[in-house]
Amino acid sequence: MTLEGKTAVITGGSRGIGRAICKKLAGSGFNVGINYVSNPTAAEETLALVEQQGGKGFLCPFNVADTDAVNEAFKKITQDIAPVDILINNAGITRDGLMARMKDSDWQAVMDTNLKGAFSCSKAAMRGMMKSKWGRIVNITSVIGFLGNGGQVNYAAAKAGLVGLTKSMARELAGRNITVNCVAPGYIVTDMTDGLDSDIQQAILAQIPLGSLGEPEDVAASVAFLTSDDAKYITGQTIHVNGGMYMGN
Ligand code: NDP
């Protein structure tokens, strides 16, 4: 079955892992919606990269944490372009700090973007998928959701929550031929990990059997697989892309 021409939206598609996913899915022949919230220049660069490689894309700025903005954006994409066939919930932020000092606003911001954002975008996108009886949703969780991490209770809880969301959605949507899966990256070289002190980087590297941080393209390859017809019988699962840092389920 060819999936060429299907419409994909990648939240946080403008930079880092999201940019690599946009390029990879455009290479699969999908028309990729590049979402971002604050940095149009990065999003335009991503669109240019997609077009340079002969792919099709469009920009779709909205804040995933704002449910009304999400609903409005998916309505507009459906009207102006096409119903969304493939959704990659990738947008994510960190607001790190030890729990004893963590502000409620730092807890809430991470929950709203990393967990509620995936819920709202999925809910808005799945209407069209249910109608067409085909869809793919991939949620980008994290190794931290499985291991936990001091200083990241908000992030770890949101990422672990995505796994429960994924499994429940997979059960609800399987009858409509919509698969829902997670990809759980380990430490990947992006702006998010750029600020880590070199001693922290060394400590992380010591826990990675393959001996290096990952690249955004390593994550994008698994996302592309899960959106492909080769993965049509896989749902409710997590693919770990972490150099062996975590080997559980
Ligand atoms: P980056 O910080 O490099 O990029 C984040 C992207 O998300 C940007 O495109 C940003 O847009 C967008 N974004 C942030 N908040 C919102 C929002 N409220 N609404 C819409 N878009 C938003 O992150 P990474 O590429 O490193 O991470 C991507 C995903 O992978 C995240 O979910 C992250 O938690 C996860 N991950 C990353 C790992 C890593 O080591 N890098 C490891 C494990 C998981 P803008 O520029 O406009 O703000």
CATH number at residue 176: 3.40.50.720
Walk across the sheet containing 31-34 and list its strands.
56-59, 31-34, 7-10, 86-89, 135-140, 178-185, 238-241
Please, which pLDDT band fits residue 100 given cuts at 50, 70 and 90?
very high
**Residue identifier of the C-alpha nearest atom 39 of ligand 1:** 188
If one counts the domains in the chain, the total is 1
Quote the ligand 1 centre to 92 CA distance (angstroms).
4
Is residue 43 included in any domain, yes or no? Answer: yes
The angle formed by the CA atoms of residues 152, 156 and 159, to the nearest 5 degrees, is: 140
Residues in contact with ligand 1 by the CB-under-6-Å rule are 11-12, 14-18, 35-39, 42, 63-65, 90-93, 113, 140, 142, 185, 187-188, 190-193
Is residue 31 included in any domain, yes or no? Answer: yes
Q: Does residue 57 register a pLDDT over 70? A: yes
Q: Is 36 a catalytic residue?
A: no
* Secondary structure (DSSP) of the chain: ---TT-EEEETT-SSHHHHHHHHHHHHTT-EEEE--SS-HHHHHHHHHHHHHTT-EEEE----TT-HHHHHHHHHHHHHHT---SEEEE---------GGG--HHHHHHHIIIIIIHHHHHHHHHHHHHHHHT-EEEEEE--THHHH--TT-HHHHHHHHHHHHHHHHHHHHHGGGTEEEEEEEE-SB-SHHHHT--HHHHHHHHTT-TT-S-B-HHHHHHHHHHHHSGGGTT--S-EEEESTTS----
Is residue 245 included in any domain, yes or no? Answer: no
- Domain span at 34: 7-240
Q: For 206, phi and psi rounded to 5 degrees? A: -65, -20
Distance CA(142)–CA(24), nearest Å, equals 20
pLDDT digits (tens, 9 = 90+) for 138-191: 999 999 999 999 999 999 999 999 999 999 999 999 999 999 999 999 999 999
Once rounded to an integer, what is the mean pLDDT over residues 34-45? 98
Please, which pLDDT band fits residue 41 given cuts at 50, 70 and 90?
very high
Is residue 246 included in any domain, yes or no? Answer: no
Asked whether the whole model's pTM tops 0.95, one would answer yes
Please, which pLDDT band fits residue 249 given cuts at 50, 70 and 90?
low
Decide if 238 contacts 246 (C-beta within 8 A): no
Return mean pLDDT, the chain.
Answer: 97
Distance CA(79)–CA(72), nearest Å, equals 11
Q: Does residue 1 register a pLDDT over 80? A: no
pLDDT at position 192 is: 87
Is residue 247 included in any domain, yes or no? Answer: no
Is residue 248 included in any domain, yes or no? Answer: no
Quote the ligand 1 centre to 91 CA distance (angstroms).
4
Distance CA(7)–CA(9), nearest Å, equals 7
Q: Does residue 38 register a pLDDT over 80? A: yes
